[in-house]
Amino acid sequence: MIRHTVVFRLKHAPGSPEEGGFLRAACALEQIPGVRNFECLRQVGSKNPYTFGLSMEFDSQAGYDLYSAHPDHEAFVRERWIPEVAEFMEVDYVPFRP
């Protein structure tokens, strides 16, 4: 299992129609085959500059790779993510078993 997470801050004003449009488009990524346990999250803490997060799981590296190369994901990154995200941090996890 791989948990793919990204936290980000948008260039848009909080509560703006542009912010809402971006978040709706981001939530549509849940429909890509292989995505499990998708969450679109709003940051409530004050310890970092990010305002939103996305979290999703994949059964395997192959599933994650299919998602990354999926035309809907690539279009979202090209048409929405790159022009609208001010800054972000991406982290991918696998379960740790000591």
What confidence tens digit (pLDDT) does each residue in 6-41 have?
999 999 999 999 999 999 999 999 999 999 999 999
Question: Model's pTM, two decimal places?
Answer: 0.91
List of residues 6+ apart from 39 with CB closer than 8 A? 53, 54, 55, 56
- 1-45+71-88: CATH number: 3.30.70.100
Helix (H) or strand (E) holding 39: strand 36-42
Pair of tokens at residue 85: 């995200």
Report yes or no: 40 and 23 within 8 Å, Cβ to Cβ: yes
Distance CA 48, CA 69 (A): 30
